[in-house]
Amino acid sequence: MTEYKYNIRIDFVDGRNHFSATATSYKNKKDFTDSIAELLRQKLVIVECDGVTVFLTRDKILSIKFSEIEEEENE
């Protein structure tokens, strides 16, 4: 199975705070995007990354941005 790594940034409505993390997933970019969209449909969003769990309510989230981290070839 291929592992994909993503940088995730969640910006909050208050404009001052944000949450950044790196996630590893077995989902490709489209499936990962779909899973984030599914999270946003729920009232409570739970983000767990590197042993840190963050509980968010949807009305506090301004945006969720993510980008895939390209794997570097090691020779």
One pLDDT digit (tens) per residue for the chain, 75 residues: 788 888 888 888 887 788 777 777 888 878 877 877 777 777 776 766 666 676 777 777 777 787 888 776 555
CATH 2.60.40 fits 4-69, yes or no: no
- Overall size of the chain counted in residues: 75
The residues near 1 (Cβ < 8 Å, ≥ 6 apart) are 26
Q: pLDDT value at position 51?
A: 66
Domain boundaries defined on the chain: 4-69
User: Could you tell me the two tokens for 46?
Assistant: 């739970």
Q: pLDDT value at position 73?
A: 55
Q: pLDDT value at position 37?
A: 75
